[in-house]
């Protein structure tokens, strides 16, 4: 199962018999998920211009899942005693695939949140599974190769675009804060072992936007080893560095800018 994903560099792990359940009972859901993930790409311009926020590529993955019948879903669990409602809890899951028999597969995408979001997702899956609301939980996040290779990806962007100064970055939709600029220039101008602008920018950008305290494979793995979310059957999928592309150029940047403008208009309404 998910052989095509694994060949493309995706990390895939199954917990609590999730592989057997998915293969035997929900093969269609597995095929849909693989289809959406195989088509996923994130232009490097979206990572840079988005400043570490959810990339348009991640949003396109969400749209692909929605189109395949995996919509955002709210679960409301009520505790009723002698006809009186004593307690009510709601859980919103980003993507849920409801099968013909009523069973459900729940999925969360954690591209670049603070890592405690993993605790929320896994505990939600645990409660929903205990209540019979879902059969399997799926978490998609940055895989090890993508997280650990982010510096190399950002540096490649700077090299290929011949970035030499902050003004060059404005052309690609990103302007560091005054704090970031100060930290970068401190590394560039220091007397002992100064860095080039590209070296300093890469280190600061990745540290600020994709640090160890964000959602990525190792943080998810740590929680699984501690038993968070157990015994809900889980599928963990790590996005690889191969989904980052470098050929779109200004076309990808234009899409990011248009999306940002649309979001600003929505905020004003």
Tokens of 78: 């009520």
Distance between CA 50 and CA 195 in Å, rounded?
A: 25
Residue 85 to residues 76, 81, 88: CA-CA distances in angstroms? 12, 6, 8
Distance between CA 4 and CA 158 in Å, rounded?
A: 31
Distance between CA 27 and CA 208 in Å, rounded?
A: 40
Residue 177: is its pLDDT beyond 70?
yes
pLDDT in tens, 43-95: 999 899 876 667 678 889 999 999 999 999 999 888 888 777 777 788 899 99
| β-pair partners for 128 | none
Q: How is 185-230 classified by DSSP, letter by letter?
A: HHHHH-SSSPPPHHHHHHHHHHHHHS-TTBSBHHHHHHHHHTTTTT
Instruction: Over range 162-182, report the average pLDDT.
Output: 93
Instruction: Over range 3-12, report the average pLDDT.
Output: 96
Residue 265: is its pLDDT beyond 70?
no
**What's the 3-state SS for 131-188?**
CCCCCEEEEEEECHHHHHCHHHHHHHHHHHCCCCCHHHHHCCCCCCCHHHHHHHHHHH
Q: Which residue has the tokens 């675009």?
A: 161
Helix axes 197-209, 150-160, angle to 10 degrees: 140
pLDDT in tens, 195-254: 999 999 999 999 999 999 999 999 999 999 999 999 999 999 999 999 999 988 777 788
pLDDT in the model for residue 184 = 96
First to last CA, the chain: 46
Segments forming the whole domain that contains residue 82: 3-268
Residue 133: is its pLDDT beyond 90?
yes
pTM of the model: 0.90
pLDDT in the model for residue 268 = 58
Domains in the chain, number: 1
What CATH number does residue 263 fall under?
3.40.91.20
């Amino acid at each position: 199962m998910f052989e095509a994903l694994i060949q493309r560099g995706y990390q895939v792990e199954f917990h609590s018999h999730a592989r057997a359940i998915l293969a035997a009972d929900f093969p269609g859901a597995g095929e849909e998920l693989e289809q959406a993930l195989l088509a996923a790409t994130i232009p490097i311009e979206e990572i840079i211009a988005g400043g570490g926020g959810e990339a348009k590529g991640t949003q396109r993955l969400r749209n692909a899942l929605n189109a395949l019948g995996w919509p955002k879903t709210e679960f409301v669990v009520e505790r009723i005693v002698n006809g009186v409602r004593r307690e009510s809890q709601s859980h919103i899951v980003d993507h849920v695939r409801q099968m013909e028999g009523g069973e459900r597969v729940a999925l969360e995408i954690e591209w670049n949140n603070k890592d405690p979001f993993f605790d929320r997702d896994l505990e939600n899956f645990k409660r929903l599974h205990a209540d019979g609301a879902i059969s399997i939980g799926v978490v998609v996040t940055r895989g090890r190769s993508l997280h650990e290779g982010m510096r190399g990806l950002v540096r490649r962007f700077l090299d290929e675009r011949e970035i030499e100064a902050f003004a060059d970055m404005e052309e690609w939709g990103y302007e560091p804060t005054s704090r970031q600029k100060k930290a970068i220039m401190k590394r560039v101008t220091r007397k002992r072992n100064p860095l080039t602008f590209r070296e300093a920018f890469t280190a600061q950008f990745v540290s600020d936007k994709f640090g160890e305290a964000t959602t990525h494979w190792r943080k998810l793995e740590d929680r699984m080893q501690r038993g968070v979310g157990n015994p809900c059957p889980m599928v963990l999928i790590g996005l690889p560095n191969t989904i980052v592309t470098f050929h779109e150029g200004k076309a990808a940047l234009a899409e990011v800018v248009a999306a940002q403008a649309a979001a600003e208009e929505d905020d004003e309404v």
